[in-house]
Amino acid sequence: MTESMHTLVDEALACVAAECPAAYLAMQSALGGRRIGLRFGRESFDVALASQGRPSDSHETIAIQTTAQVVYDVLAGERDPLDAILADDIVLHGAADDLVALGEAALFFVKGAVRCTSTQSLLSRLHGISLLERGESHDQ
């Protein structure tokens, strides 16, 4: 069974919550209860951090569509996030204030994730998913 991006995202958020709670709280605050709809190829799911401030709507406030490969390239420092957005390799939908909140939350996530002990393992697993996405095996 192949690993899902949903599992990986959940584990990354749990890691930040446990190991860098200040960053997690800052993410919650920045998002203000907004929901994020994520789509990685055929896999799609919602992320909503425990709400603070504005209550979550029943629909996604922010939608993100990309691939595991693009996320891996950005996190590995091989690709600039803005370049990926401009090339439509990361597609964002949302109101301007929601996208600004997403950008702030992403910055807090990265600040927390770099302090997590399991970040390297999560990045390796993401790389494995990205290879499967391209039809390659981990051994190549």
Distances (CA, A) of 101 to 9, 26, 29, 70, 135: 18, 11, 9, 21, 35
Predicted confidence at residue 134, as pLDDT, reads 80
Are 11 and 136 spatial neighbours (Cβ–Cβ below 8 Å)?
no
pLDDT score of 1 more than 50: no
- For 5-133, CATH number out of 3.20.20.140, 3.30.1050.10, 1.10.3720.10, 3.40.50.11810 equals 3.30.1050.10
Q: Are 63 and 93 in contact (CB under 8 A)?
A: yes
Q: What's the pLDDT score for residue 140?
A: 46
Cα 79 to Cα 19: distance, rounded to the nearest angstrom: 27
Confidence category of residue 71, pLDDT binned at 50, 70, 90: very high
Give the model confidence (pLDDT) of 78-116 as tens digits.
Answer: 999 999 999 999 999 999 999 999 999 999 999 999 999
Helix axes 119-133, 68-75, angle to 10 degrees: 140
Residue-range domain boundaries for the chain: 5-133
Residue 117's SS3 state is coil
pLDDT in the model for residue 35: 92
Average pLDDT score over the chain: 88
Please choose, from the candidates 136, 115, 113, the residue with its C-alpha nearest in 3D space to the C-alpha of residue 8.
Answer: 113
Beta strand extents in the chain (DSSP E only): 36-40, 43-47, 62-66, 91-93
